Amino acid sequence: MKNAVKKTLALCLVLFMTLSIVAGCASRQDAAPGNGSTESAEKGSQTPAAAEKSVDEINISYVKLPLNVPSIVEKRLMLFEDEFEKDGIKVNFPEITEGPKMTEALAAGSLDFCNALGGTSAILAAANGVDLKIIGIYSRAPKAYTIMTREDGINSIADLKGKKIAGPKGTILHQLLLEALSRNQMSIDDVEYINMSIPQAVAAMNSDNVDAALVAGPAVPQAMDAGGRIITTGEGLLDATIVIAVRGEFLREHPDLVKRYMNVHYRSLKHMEENPEEVYKMAAEETGLSEENVITMYDWYDFNPAITEKDIEELVKTQDFLLENDMLRQAINISDIITDKL
């Protein structure tokens, strides 16, 4: 009996040792450098994002008015084509001039960059779920936005009380009117506000059907040529912030291309600084304005793309304007739609 037990224990011991040796060999084999199992595991750990999707084309909105000189320079000198087509990327410039249509195209994926998008449109789109990021400021041009009149008895904002004023609702110009009235202890209820496009508003003012008009861009010098006078500009009231925005998904998948985009934009600004006479002529040809009017308007614009704290404050003020006028139901965190990580 004792011999049988001893034999059984011996067999168990031999079996245990054999299994330990096999397991040890297997462990060392799995851990060995260059082993296929390890390579497979490493390959399997790579996420799809590691293999960046290729880009065949880039779509950039083209808006030349009121005086979007960087866009004109970029397109006329083919700066984006020079940057991207060497990598086989075609550049398209769809002419989408209205902010809401621009953000709709962004949401649909048919537009990658909004070059010159109103801050109002950017905020409204983001609040409605459009995935966009502001990557720079296109322009600040408070002097380009005005309240004008032809009436001899109107010389200040205070003189507008009880008067008919025409202009586009829900725009920077509308915001300018409300701010100007507020600074003079008045509200929109103290005037008769009529919603009209800028050309319609100028025509109504010139035919004396309204007392004042909200006028911006090239329409300002044209209205002045027809006898209009500026009561006030946006200077000191708002910055009239226009932004550069990118499709959020495009930024996440191709941050390098977005950085290159901004580098091209900076090159256009450098060209503007170094070649003013050429740029004035180029802008006049593209917009149909006289060179004299281009030179006058050019000084109204600050094209510095850097996003400052003041720019963010202006965008917050724009959002407040939208909320107060029932054009936006719920506020967003403005900082969430801005990125400076380029």
Fold classified for 57-140+240-337: D-Maltodextrin-Binding Protein; domain 2 (3.40.190)
Question: How much is the pLDDT for 2?
Answer: 41
Residue 79 has pLDDT above 90, yes or no: yes
Residue 262 has pLDDT above 90, yes or no: yes
- Region at 174 (left for phi over 0; alpha for psi -120 to 50; beta for the rest): alpha
Residues 6+ apart with CB under 8 A from 314: 119, 140, 238, 239, 241
Q: What is the pLDDT of residues 2-47, one digit of tens each?
A: 444 344 434 444 444 443 433 443 443 343 333 333 333 333 333 3
Fold classified for 143-233: D-Maltodextrin-Binding Protein; domain 2 (3.40.190)
Which helix (H) or strand (E) segment is 143 a member of? none
What the block records as the tokens of 257 is: 């291309």
Question: How much is the pLDDT for 52?
Answer: 56
DSSP states of 281-323:
HHHHHHH---HHHHHHHHTT-B------HHHHHHHHHHHHHHH
Confidence category of residue 56, pLDDT binned at 50, 70, 90: very high
Question: How much is the pLDDT for 210?
Answer: 98
Residue type present at position 149: T
Q: What is the pLDDT of residues 176-223, one digit of tens each?
A: 999 999 999 999 999 999 999 999 999 999 999 999 999 998 899 999
What the block records as the tokens of 223 is: 């209205």
Examine domains 57-140+240-337 and 143-233 and report if their fold is the same: yes
Residue spans of the domains in the chain: they are: 57-140+240-337, 143-233
Q: How far is CA 208 from CA 101, 126, 211, 227, 233, in A?
A: 33, 40, 7, 12, 21
In percent, the amount of the chain with pLDDT more than 70 equals 85
Residue 83 has pLDDT above 80, yes or no: yes
E strand spans, the chain = 57-59, 90-92, 113-118, 132-140, 145-149, 164-167, 192-195, 212-216, 229-233, 241-247
SS3 109: coil
Give pTM, 2 decimals: 0.80
